[in-house]
Structure 1
Amino acid sequence: MTASAGGWATAMTGWTLTAQGQRALGRRFPERVDWDGFYAPRN
């Protein structure tokens, strides 16, 4: 990657928070779609 290390770290942090947040939000939004395009129903 040619992006700055700071930008990469920010992107990875955002991805992690999104992945973790989906577990919590999934309880309220069971038909939430992941940012990367996968349809992710939650129980």
Structure 2
Amino acid sequence: MSPEQLPAPAARPEFTERVRRAIEPHGPLRERVRVRILTGVR
């Protein structure tokens, strides 16, 4: 989701709970992702 699609900050706890209830029967939800970190010193 883009930031524009997220609910207002005050409505996010309820939104989070709705998503959790929708996903729970299908869990655990795991996804493998590749992470690359570029570090440096200035």
The alignment's TM-score, normalised by the length of structure 2, stands at: 0.39
The structure number with the bigger radius of gyration is 2
Pick 1 or 2: higher relative contact order, CA cutoff 8 A, min separation 6.
1
